[in-house]
Structure 1
Amino acid sequence: MFETIASMMLTYAMTALWFIVGTGAAGLPYVQSHRRLKVWAMLLRCISYIGLALALLWCILIVSLYVRCGWLFVEGIVKSIFPIMLIGYIPVVLYTLPRLRSFRASSPDKWPSDTLIKTSHPMLVIPPYAAAFGSGIAAFHTIFSQPTLPSLLETAQMIVLFLLVQVFPSLFVIRRHRAILKGAFTAAPFWKRLLKFSVSGAATAIVAIAVVVVQAWADFNASKLPEASDMMNHQWMDEGSGTPTMMMSGHHNHANMVEVSALTGDVSVPADTTYLLVAQKREMTLASGAVVEAWTYNGEVAPELRAQQGDMVEVKLINKNIDKGVTIHWHGYDVPNAMDGVPGMTQNVVNPGESFTYKFRAEQAGTYWFHSHQQAAEQVRNGLFGSFIVEPKKETIRYDEEVTLINHNWNTDQGERTAFGDQDRMQRKQVEPGKIIKLRLINANNQSQKYLLQGSDYKITSIDGTPIQQPESLSDQTAFRLAAGGRYDVSFTMPDHPVLLKLGESTDAEGPGILFYGDSPPDTIRFQTESSLFDPSRYGKPAVNEWTAATEFDREFTMILGNRMGFYNGKFNYLWTINGEVYPHTPTLVVKEGEKIKTTFINKSLSEHPMHLHGHHMTVLKKNGKSVETPWVTDTLNVNPDETYEVAFTADNPGMWMDHCHILDHAAVGMMLHLMYDNVIPSFEAGTRSGNMPE
């Protein structure tokens, strides 16, 4: 984030300085004495040198970003921002500064005629204003619209806007200069000059606003989601570096094509474990007394489903009264495609009075969770989620106590409350010293969460359901951060004194958290501050699989994560983009079954993004261009600003799969795309016509 913050400060300062220089230069013809002229010219030169120095620092900053993060972090800036800034900065150096310096040698004897002509020259005024506007564009794009992979059209549009905004100031100074050359210039009173300046500024603003409004109107219309679609962008089929696939017209008749609805797995096998989940609204009360108007499964907060590894699991979902319909997505579980729970892609939404049965083999042991994927930003927020625990056939470590904690932020009648399930107060649990405790931690929140376990060394034994080989002990001053949608299994041996698990920076003795104690709970709870943060890229024994040793991949994809202001489905919003686009204009990634796939995540935005690929697990290979010490397996990878990750997986689960940011508010305004196998065709449609509204 350092480069982003520094770039923002520099470009805003540059914009202000060049505006001052341009305005000051426009006032030079009205200076009444030679001495004052030299003072003003010297002052404007000094400000110009400061502006150029800041521009040089900004360039160094961009080079530093390139060296640290790579070309893709700066490509958009170099291709779209640099050309516009050069239009202003080069004339400043070539014309404005030499003219300002010339006033040092001007003779009082030539005052006022020759000096008046010099002070009114357009090249004293137009370049600084051009530099100000170019810097302003750079400042705007730092915060509101990181340029990603700009097309020639996008760059041309910015240049046209730039030139249009320059028209009125240029006309004003050119007209004045011509009047002076003809000897027809008379200095107007200050109030008239101020009025002309204001009119020119207003006209410039009107032109700029008009251009922006025209573009906004086009964006407004283009942003409206289609009434019906199969969720695939057939205009932008990203095939990586693999062999091109036939995905255009006529592919539906291909003999080897299979529909999503047929990708159920073997559902004829009798179920070993069965559950019934009823989606319903219910008023619930948190431990603090705060009341939530919740949407729940079975009227419970975060119900827990458990199965044994190898079981055939069957879950029947009934929608009692959730008007917009519901589904169940098995987060992190690589189920057959038709069981993935994405409305409009793998099934139709389950409307009130309807049901849907999910059935799959529980091959993966570990800690997982489930949630609705119908308008998920709203439905998960309101409570449609729970935990899914699959116990291994053979546990290598025997645990005496096991606690599942799923944290979430609730909207209550007393404001927002953070809780583990419905417990927004400190929980207390008595445990005998010497007992081995396993914590299953699930983050159902919309942001990453930091945890601190105090009072005992501990181990992180699993990340996103995948065991860590040879986990090392971590001190009780080592915090760990869990991505939105992520899971950690944590174990520790109960000492003869209390152990506290707490969220984030809170020192609230009433929670949320959990206090483990022996004979009796302590009268007071002591809090510590962390000294370090857990780094999974340097922990345990490296994962070893076909991807960690791979040097070549069948397909390689790049996902650049950004943000910009704009319209989404007709509403003005802060948009979160992938490769400069928002769904449904994001690319569709095309793969063949059996291929080795590498994906590079590049976060140029101002927020973290926990990237979640359905139906597959990713092995993390590189961070910021360097191989990680201990590759690990994950399904929800948190990518922070200015970070890059390279991950790999095998295309071994045919279907159409969502790949999105699990900050669900980000997915709701565009940060999602889809991975599709080249022989799979859609069975469902998304949009208002069907009521399938995935996000």
Structure 2
Amino acid sequence: MTTASRPRVLRRVLAVVVAAAVVGTLAFLWQTSRFPARFSVTEAGHFERGSGPRGALPSGHDHHGSGGVPGAAVTVDDLTEPLDGPADVARTLTARTAPIEVADGAELDGYTLNGSTPGPTIHATQGDLVEVTLVNESVTGGTTLHWHGIDVPNAVDGVAGVTQDAVPVGGTHTYRFVAEDAGTYWYHSHQISHEQVRKGLLGAVVVDPAPGGPVVGGREVAELLRDAVDVPALVHQYGPERTVQGVAGDLVAEVEPGRAARVRVINSDNGAMPVWVGGAPFRLLAIDGTDVHQPPEVRGTAVLVPAGGRADLLVVAPADGAAARVELGGVVAVVVGPAGAAAEATRRPEATLDPLGYGAQAPSGLDPREAARHLPYVIDRQPGFFDGKPGMHWTVNGRTYPDVPMFTVRTGEVVRMTIENRSGQAHPMHLHGHHLVVLARDDVRATGSPWWVDSLEVGDGETYEVAFVADNPGIWMDHCHNLPHATEGLVAHLAYQGVTTPYLLGHGTDNVPE
């Protein structure tokens, strides 16, 4: 070998070594990103115990090698309502694969519950024992029912691979819980949810207040509600058609002049939806099933309803016999007025109602200064591999699914959480089994009625301070309700010390919650 050729040979050798190192690193990252064939959510991630004046939880393991939170003594199956005694509300919902008819006779492949989509609205009164039996007649991927916004016992939360196995074709599963809180809620599949919800496995839940309960909205609101027409308005997109209560086009609510309607808006889609009223003022009565304290009347203002969220609007039909028009994203509407009354469509107002300062102050029932721990939830995006797929992927506290936080708490604690969004997109964050009270947004403190949510729109660059009481033991999902984001890994879990689960996820199981 000549002296002149040696540098070229060395450069080639170096290039081969560098290429091998790069390929080897990529192969390692690809392999380690692949989901295990079978795994428990309590083993896949890492503890996030947070910080606080009352100290940390017992150290245990950095990973859940025991299959549960340190000191695990009960499983999610133990966390139920009493199973004896007759139900006050009993329904059977049969899930089928079936074509869905949309506008102009066009059909889409989808799913139905009892032959329709949305499925039947479930009505209950506060305190009722509700029993729903799900029958899977022909949904080949298996299915479940999750009770969105209802703080049910963990065993009936309906999350495949976390609180139950997906119900296979020919199988049944019974959900049994007490409807403790009045409000507007909905149910939907939590198995392959990004597909099954979009294609029709969903429905509304309305829980009326118990007779003689406290008046939250004030005397004037109570008088209007006494004779109000109740109007569930579940908004859902089937293919190209936005519908309300399963019908393309406007929903007409026949209401006499001067009489009120309670319009229960449910946003079942993946993006936030502006709602406003043309032709009349309105009050925002409730957010995510929780009443607003003394809601003032507003006009020319939109309400932003996050994906998964609900907003109850009190609208009085105009005294002159015209109709008010509750615009649902500017595509469909609820028309409130006497039969045949017209209502012109209106554009979205420039102003958007800010719940941070809406309504009158009132005790929230918890003192955030008593928080036992403070949990960070930082949403971001970074390059890497997700189940073997390269790209830009969602992270929670710098980690990608399934190596995401298992936020760990003790029963009875007051918990503060900081939700920070650095990801470049907005995210509707949904914590199962609990409601959060919003303390501040971007360091601006809440000054209105306590703002309780289970579905919170966190815009890009925003930071929310929230608090909740850890009063519902279990293992709970805490995820983005833009369901494609969730299936791409924007998921974490809240786990109580002493709780474990026998259910598994992974390519070797039939459980795919998102």
Change (3 A) 1:277 1:529: closer
Verify the 8 A CA contact 1:234 1:588 in the aligned structure 2. no
Residue 217 of structure 2 corresponds to which residue in structure 1?
A: none
What is the deviation of 1:207?
A: 11
TM-score normalized by the length of structure 2: 0.88
The question of 1:344 aligning with 2:161 is answered yes
User: Taking CA–CA contacts closer than 8 Å with sequence separation of 6 or more, which of the two structures ends up with the larger relative contact order?
Assistant: 2
CA-to-aligned-CA distance 1:479-536 (integer Å, 9 cap, x gap): 11100000011011100222112233x4xxxx422333436343x8342440310111
Residue 230 of structure 1 corresponds to which residue in structure 2?
A: 40
Change (3 A) 1:207 1:661: farther
Moved more, 629-638 or 664-673: 629-638
Give 1:660's match in structure 2, choosing from 461, 466, 479.
479
Residue 94 of structure 2 corresponds to which residue in structure 1?
A: 278
The question of 1:405 aligning with 2:236 is answered no
The question of 1:449 aligning with 2:267 is answered no
Residue 571 of structure 1 corresponds to which residue in structure 2?
A: 389
Give 2:327's match in structure 1, choosing from 486, 496, 502.
502
Verify the 8 A CA contact 1:288 1:424 in the aligned structure 2. no
Q: Which amino acid aligns with 2:411?
A: E
Give 1:550's match in structure 2, choosing from 368, 371, 375.
368
The CA distance in 2 between the partners of 1:514 and 1:222, in whole Å, is 51
The CA distance in 1 between the partners of 2:201 and 2:44, in whole Å, is 32
Q: Which amino acid aligns with 1:363?
A: E
Verify the 8 A CA contact 1:239 1:245 in the aligned structure 2. no
Q: Which amino acid aligns with 1:462?
A: A
Change (3 A) 1:272 1:671: same
Q: Which amino acid aligns with 1:305?
A: I
What is the deviation of 1:315?
A: 0.3
TM-score normalized by the length of structure 1: 0.66
The CA distance in 1 between the partners of 2:425 and 2:20, in whole Å, is 31
The CA distance in 1 between the partners of 2:287 and 2:307, in whole Å, is 13
Give 2:259's match in structure 1, choosing from 435, 446, 455.
435
The question of 1:365 aligning with 2:182 is answered yes
Residue 265 of structure 1 corresponds to which residue in structure 2?
A: 81
Give 2:302's match in structure 1, choosing from 476, 479, 486.
479
Residue 514 of structure 1 corresponds to which residue in structure 2?
A: 334
Q: Which amino acid aligns with 2:124?
A: A
Change (3 A) 1:457 1:349: same
Give 1:672's match in structure 2, choosing from 482, 491, 511.
491
Residue 41 of structure 1 corresponds to which residue in structure 2?
A: none
Residue 445 of structure 2 corresponds to which residue in structure 1?
A: 627
Residue 112 of structure 2 corresponds to which residue in structure 1?
A: 296
Verify the 8 A CA contact 1:372 1:385 in the aligned structure 2. yes
CA-to-aligned-CA distance 1:364-391 (integer Å, 9 cap, x gap): 1100001111111111111111111111
The CA distance in 1 between the partners of 2:271 and 2:419, in whole Å, is 18
The question of 1:640 aligning with 2:443 is answered no
Change (3 A) 1:577 1:206: farther
Change (3 A) 1:375 1:234: closer
What is the deviation of 1:443?
A: 0.3
| Runs of 4+ residues deviating >6 angstroms | 205-212, 251-256
Change (3 A) 1:526 1:236: closer
Q: Which amino acid aligns with 1:276?
A: T
Q: What RMSD, in angstroms, separates the aligned Cα atoms of the two structures?
A: 2.6
What is the deviation of 1:214?
A: 5.3
CA-to-aligned-CA distance 1:618-672 (integer Å, 9 cap, x gap): 1111111232112311111110011100111111111111111111111101111
The CA distance in 2 between the partners of 1:586 and 1:655, in whole Å, is 17
Change (3 A) 1:326 1:448: same
Verify the 8 A CA contact 1:617 1:633 in the aligned structure 2. yes
| Structure 2 gap ranges (5+) | 1-6, 8-14, 214-221
Moved more, 579-588 or 641-650: 579-588
The CA distance in 2 between the partners of 1:221 and 1:644, in whole Å, is 34
Verify the 8 A CA contact 1:399 1:438 in the aligned structure 2. no
Q: Which amino acid aligns with 2:327?
A: K
Give 1:387's match in structure 2, choosing from 183, 204, 213.
204
The CA distance in 1 between the partners of 2:241 and 2:490, in whole Å, is 26
Q: Which amino acid aligns with 1:331?
A: H
Q: Secondary structure at the match of 1:232?
A: helix
The CA distance in 1 between the partners of 2:267 and 2:69, in whole Å, is 43
Q: Which amino acid aligns with 1:263?
A: L
What is the deviation of 1:400?
A: 2.9
The CA distance in 2 between the partners of 1:366 and 1:678, in whole Å, is 30
What is the deviation of 1:246?
A: 4.8
The CA distance in 2 between the partners of 1:573 and 1:367, in whole Å, is 38
Whose Rg is larger?
Answer: 1
Verify the 8 A CA contact 2:72 2:497 in the aligned structure 1. no
What is the deviation of 1:566?
A: 3.6
Give 2:285's match in structure 1, choosing from 461, 482, 485.
461
Q: Number of residue pairs matched?
A: 482
Residue 219 of structure 2 corresponds to which residue in structure 1?
A: none
1:53-64 matches, within 5 Å, as: none
What is the deviation of 1:613?
A: 0.8
Residue 142 of structure 1 corresponds to which residue in structure 2?
A: none
Q: Secondary structure at the match of 2:503?
A: coil
Verify the 8 A CA contact 1:216 1:566 in the aligned structure 2. no
Q: Secondary structure at the match of 2:40?
A: coil
The CA distance in 1 between the partners of 2:410 and 2:40, in whole Å, is 20
Residue 508 of structure 2 corresponds to which residue in structure 1?
A: 689
The CA distance in 1 between the partners of 2:127 and 2:66, in whole Å, is 40
Residue 75 of structure 1 corresponds to which residue in structure 2?
A: none
What is the deviation of 1:284?
A: 2.1
What is the deviation of 1:329?
A: 0.5
What is the deviation of 1:541?
A: 1.7
Give 1:493's match in structure 2, choosing from 309, 316, 327.
316
Change (3 A) 1:253 1:585: closer
Verify the 8 A CA contact 1:542 1:632 in the aligned structure 2. no
| Structure 1 gap ranges (5+) | 1-174, 176-204
Verify the 8 A CA contact 2:69 2:499 in the aligned structure 1. no
The CA distance in 1 between the partners of 2:71 and 2:20, in whole Å, is 53
Identity %: 37
The CA distance in 2 between the partners of 1:576 and 1:266, in whole Å, is 39
Q: Which amino acid aligns with 1:678?
A: Q
Residue 405 of structure 2 corresponds to which residue in structure 1?
A: 587
Q: Secondary structure at the match of 1:689?
A: coil
Moved more, 454-463 or 227-236: 227-236
CA-to-aligned-CA distance 1:331-369 (integer Å, 9 cap, x gap): 011111101001111111100000000001111110000
The CA distance in 2 between the partners of 1:634 and 1:479, in whole Å, is 18
What is the deviation of 1:610?
A: 1.1
The CA distance in 1 between the partners of 2:413 and 2:255, in whole Å, is 49
Q: Which amino acid aligns with 2:39?
A: S
Change (3 A) 1:517 1:209: farther
Residue 4 of structure 2 corresponds to which residue in structure 1?
A: none
Q: Which amino acid aligns with 1:450?
A: P
The CA distance in 1 between the partners of 2:184 and 2:350, in whole Å, is 28
**Which structure shows the higher strand fraction?**
2
Verify the 8 A CA contact 1:575 1:666 in the aligned structure 2. no
Q: Secondary structure at the match of 2:264?
A: strand
Q: Secondary structure at the match of 2:334?
A: strand
What is the deviation of 1:235?
A: 5.7
